[in-house]
Structure 1
C-alpha cells in the first residue's frame, strides 16, 4: 500500500473506478487534488472558467453515459460551477463535482474564498452536497455517487474536502469489489406488465410518448440501440407516437406513425385527447416538454419511469410502472406478435399534421427551417450536436429528425445560456475521431466564448454554427407579444470571425446554403475548431 496525500489518492481512486478524464481549473485551495492526476493516468482538460468546466463534464457524460467529473476550488470556483450543476440536475446528467473547502468557516472570517455555507449553497442545484471529514468518508462518498449514477435517476453530486485534509497522508481507497457500482437495470414491477399488453392490443388508437429516458444505451442481450426496439414497438403495435425533445431520434422520420418532436405544439393536446390509451415512457412530461400545464389526455394514462417522483406528479397517471424504460419496452415487445400490425391511426392525417406543425414553426421564426434542412442533408449520421438557448435551436429541435437517439443535447430544463460550446468540447473529448457540432446564438455564445481557447488547445475539428441575428430576438418577440415596447434586446457584437481567429480558430461566413454545406464539411476535416457565422440573410 502506497501512502499519499488524500488529494492524490482521490485521483487514483477515480482512475480505478473507470474515470479517465477530469475537467477543471487548479487553484491554491485545490492544488493537492492535482498532485495525483498525471500519476494516476487521468487526462485533465483545462477550462477557462468553472462554468465551462461544468458544462464540459455535462457534455462528456451525455456523450459517453459515464459520469463527467470536475475539480474546482473553494468559494467562487464552486459558485461558478453551480449553473452547470443546475442544468445537469434538470436534464438528469451524471456530473460529479469535487471541490476543496475551508477547514474552519464558523469561528474565522475574512478568509480567501470564504462563503457562509458552501455545502448548503451547492445543495440547491444538485442531488446532494456533503463534506468528507476523513479519507474514509471521501472514499465512501465517491463510491456512493458512482453507484447512484448507475442505479438511480442521474443527478449531479457535490463532495467537498477540507484543504488540510486534502494534503494529509492517507492510505489508498479500498479496492473495487465485484458487484460494486453494478447497474440494477431498474427492476420491473413485481407483477410484470399487469395486463397492459392486452389493453394495448384492444386499444383503438394507442399513443406512445417516448422521452429522454429511452434515448441512450442498448436493449436486451443483442446490443441493438434503443431506437431499434422503439421503432419495432410501433410497427408491431400499430400505435402512433410523439417524442419529447430529449427523445429526438428514437423514431424514424420515415415512420408513418410518428408525430415527431412536436409534442410542444398546442394542437398536440387535441391529438392526445383522441387516443384511448396513452403510454408515456421515460419522460417527465414537464413544462419544458409540453409548454402547457396539462397533457391533454382524456383516456387511460400509463407512466413508466425509474423515478417514483415522476409517477406521482400532477398528471395523475391511472397506471404506473417504476421501471427502467428500456427494460419495459423489451418486456412489452416480448408480448406482442412478431408481424407488422395494421396501423391504428390514419397515416395520411399524421403526415398532414406534421406538415402543418412545420409550417407553424417556420411562420414563428421564418427561414431557420430551410437552413436546418440544408445542414441536415450533409451532416454525418453519427454527428453529435450540442445546442444553446437560441431561436435556431428552438426551430431545429422540432424540424430536425435525428437518425440516432441521444445525439442532440440541449439545456432543456434549467435553460442556461452558454451551454453549447463547452458541452460540445466535453462531447468531442469523449468521442475522439467522431463528428461533434456546436450550435449557439450570438448573445449566449458570449457567456462562454473564452472556451474557444480550450477547443483550439485540444485541436478539436469542431464546427461552431453561430446564429447571429444581432439581437435577443426571442426576448424581443416575447415583449412584442406581451405588448411591451422592446428594450434591452440589442447589444453591440464583436467581429466574431476575427475574435475566433484571435483564439487560433478558423472562421468563415457562408453567403449561401450551398456554401454553408461546404463550410460544414470542411470544418470536420480541419485541425482546429471553425466558427461558421450564419445570419438570417442565408435563408433569402
Structure 2
C-alpha cells in the first residue's frame, strides 16, 4: 500500500478537496470511477449516494445555493456524465458553483466498443458548462481543481467539468500542493463611474432600481432607495433584497406587461446583479427610454449597454457600499415622486391579474407562506403553483427561494431541496413540485428517507401538464399529450419510507406542514385544485 504522501490520484483528489474546504460529495460510484472513491472516507468527506446522476447534480446545485460553497459531484464515464449534463446546464444558467469530476476512457480513437464509450465526452460536457477539460496528469488535475475553485470565488459562478482518464486515476501520485492564500478583493466601481452615477441619481426625479439575484443581501439598500427617492422592482431571484411591504417596492413584477409602462415613466434605471434575460422580462425590452446603469460581475452582461448608459464591472455589494457612503453625505432624502397610492394600486392590480389567470393558486400560496417557519429555504420546480408563487410570495430575506429559472428543468425541486437540507442541518427546507416534474426525480425521495431529512415536499397535482395545455389553447392547438396516468402519490411516498399527508383544506394544510417540519423523515404533502379555503 502507498505511503501517506503517495496515493492513487483518485484518493489524492479527495484529500485535496477536503483541504480546500469541501465537505460533501454527491454522486454514484461505478467501475470506471471507483478510484475516486478510494480516499473519500480517509479524507473525511461525506458522500451522498444519489439514485441517478441527474439527482446528484441537482443535489450539488441545491447544496451550493444553500451554503455558498461549491457543489461537488463524482460521476462515471459516458452515461453518468450525460445524465448529469442537465443539472450542469441548470447551474450554468443560474450562476451556481457546481464542479463535476468524472472519469473518462484512456483511449477512444484507436479502440472501439468499450464500455461507456462516447465519441467526445469532454466536448459534450462543454456545451452545458463554463468549461470542460481533461487532466492527463496529477498536476493537471490539481491545477484544474484549483482553477475552478478560484473562479467560483472571483468571477460569475458557473458549472465546470474535469475528466480524468481511468488509468491516471489509479496511478500513484504525490499529494496536491498545499492550499495557497487567495488575497481577492471583489471588484469595486471606478471613482469616475461613481461620480457620474451619483450625479445621475441627483438629477433624476423618477429613478427605478431593478434588483436581481446578485444584488442582495445588503443592509444599505433601503437607505439608498430613500436617499435617491427611487422605486424598486426585483426579479424573481431578487425577491427579499428589499421588504416587499416597503412603499418604494413594486415587487417581482417584471414579467407583467404593465411593468413596461412603469419603466416608460422612469428617467433613470439602475439594474443591479441581473441579466434582464428573457426569463426575467418575457418581452424584448424593459420599456425604458432613459439612461441605464448596469452593475454586474459578468462583463458579457455589460456589453449590452447602449449609448448614454453606464456599465460598472463590480460586485453588487461593493457598489452598494460605495453608493451608500456617497448618498449619506446628501443633506436630505430626495422626494419620492412615485405616488405611493399609485404604487400600491399597481401592486394590487398585478396580484389580481395573477389570480385571474390561475384561479385558486394565489390562495394556496398565501396559505403556504403563512405556514412556513421563518428562514425556510424553498426549492421550486417548473409548475404552475411555482410560477404563481414567484409573483405573489413576498420573501422576507434574499437567497431563500431557488427555482430552475434559466435552463428550466423539470424534476429540479426534490433533489435540490435534499442538497439544500444537507447544507443547512437543523434549518427548515421545503420543496414545491408538480405531479409531472415529480416523476423525473422521484427516486431521490429514497435519499431523503435514508438521511432522515425533515423535508416537506409540496406536490401540486392538477392531473396534467397544465401550463402546456394552456399554451396550446392560446395558440389554437387542440391540447395533445398533456395528460398522463399518475400513481397514488401518497402510497408511493410511503413505499419509499416517507410520510404523507393529503390536506383537504387550507386550514388543515397548516397543521400538515407543521408536522412535516418536525418529522424525522421527509413528508409528501399532496395538494390538488380541489383543496378548499
The bucket for the TM-score relative to the shorter chain is over 0.9
Deviation per CA, 1:119-164, whole angstroms, max 9, x where unpaired? 0000000000000010000000000000000000011110000000
Q: Which residue of 1 aligns with 2:393?
A: 400
1:213 counterpart SS class: coil
Q: Which residue of 1 aligns with 2:326?
A: 335
Q: 1:145 aligns with which of 145, 148, 155?
A: 148
Deviation per CA, 1:7-34, whole angstroms, max 9, x where unpaired? 0000000000000000000000000000
Q: Which residue of 2 aligns with 1:54?
A: 57
Deviation per CA, 1:85-122, whole angstroms, max 9, x where unpaired? 00001001000000000000110110000000000000
Q: Which residue of 2 aligns with 1:300?
A: 291
Are 2:244 and 2:250, in contact at CA under 8 Å, matched by a contact in 1? no
Deviation per CA, 1:517-538, whole angstroms, max 9, x where unpaired? 1111110000000000111111
Deviation per CA, 1:69-88, whole angstroms, max 9, x where unpaired? 00000000000000000000
2:479 counterpart SS class: coil
Tell me if 1:44 matches 2:23: no
Tell me if 1:511 matches 2:514: no
Residues in 1 aligned to 2:356 and 2:172: alpha-carbon distance in whole angstroms: 64
Tell me if 1:12 matches 2:15: yes
Are 2:91 and 2:97, in contact at CA under 8 Å, matched by a contact in 1? yes
Q: Which residue of 2 aligns with 1:218?
A: none
Residues in 2 aligned to 1:231 and 1:388: alpha-carbon distance in whole angstroms: 31
Are 1:303 and 1:317, in contact at CA under 8 Å, matched by a contact in 2? no
Deviation per CA, 1:306-327, whole angstroms, max 9, x where unpaired? 1110011276771111111111
Residues in 2 aligned to 1:178 and 1:24: alpha-carbon distance in whole angstroms: 29
Q: 1:526 aligns with which of 509, 519, 530?
A: 519
Deviation per CA, 1:40-69, whole angstroms, max 9, x where unpaired? 000000000000000000000001111000
CA drift of 1:375 comes to 1.2
1:4 counterpart SS class: strand
More deviation, 415-424/245-254: 245-254
TM-score (normalised: structure 1): 0.96
Q: Which residue of 2 aligns with 1:202?
A: 203
2:158 counterpart SS class: coil
Residues in 2 aligned to 1:79 and 1:317: alpha-carbon distance in whole angstroms: 45
Q: 2:302 aligns with which of 301, 311, 321?
A: 311
Aligned residues: 528
Are 1:251 and 1:260, in contact at CA under 8 Å, matched by a contact in 2? no
Q: Which residue of 1 aligns with 2:277?
A: 286
Residues in 1 aligned to 2:99 and 2:308: alpha-carbon distance in whole angstroms: 33
Tell me if 1:240 matches 2:231: yes
TM-score (normalised: structure 2): 0.97
Residues in 1 aligned to 2:185 and 2:114: alpha-carbon distance in whole angstroms: 44
- Output aligned runs, 1:147-186, within 5 Å: 147-179=150-182, 182-186=183-187
Q: Which residue of 1 aligns with 2:101?
A: 98
Deviation per CA, 1:248-276, whole angstroms, max 9, x where unpaired? 11121210110100111111111001000
Tell me if 1:324 matches 2:294: no
Tell me if 1:412 matches 2:413: no
Tell me if 1:476 matches 2:477: no
Deviation per CA, 1:161-195, whole angstroms, max 9, x where unpaired? 0000000000000001222xx44312323634032
Deviation per CA, 1:373-405, whole angstroms, max 9, x where unpaired? 111112112000000000000000000001110
Q: 1:441 aligns with which of 430, 434, 440?
A: 434
CA drift of 1:214 comes to 1.6
Tell me if 1:253 matches 2:244: yes
Residues in 1 aligned to 2:524 and 2:306: alpha-carbon distance in whole angstroms: 43
Residues in 1 aligned to 2:127 and 2:308: alpha-carbon distance in whole angstroms: 28
1:247 counterpart SS class: coil
Are 1:211 and 1:282, in contact at CA under 8 Å, matched by a contact in 2? yes
Query: Unaligned regions of 5+ residues in structure 2, if any?
Result: none
Query: Unaligned regions of 5+ residues in structure 1, if any?
Result: 216-224
Q: Which residue of 1 aligns with 2:264?
A: 273
Residues in 1 aligned to 2:127 and 2:235: alpha-carbon distance in whole angstroms: 26
Q: Which residue of 2 aligns with 1:346?
A: 339
Q: Which residue of 2 aligns with 1:191?
A: 192
Are 1:302 and 1:317, in contact at CA under 8 Å, matched by a contact in 2? no
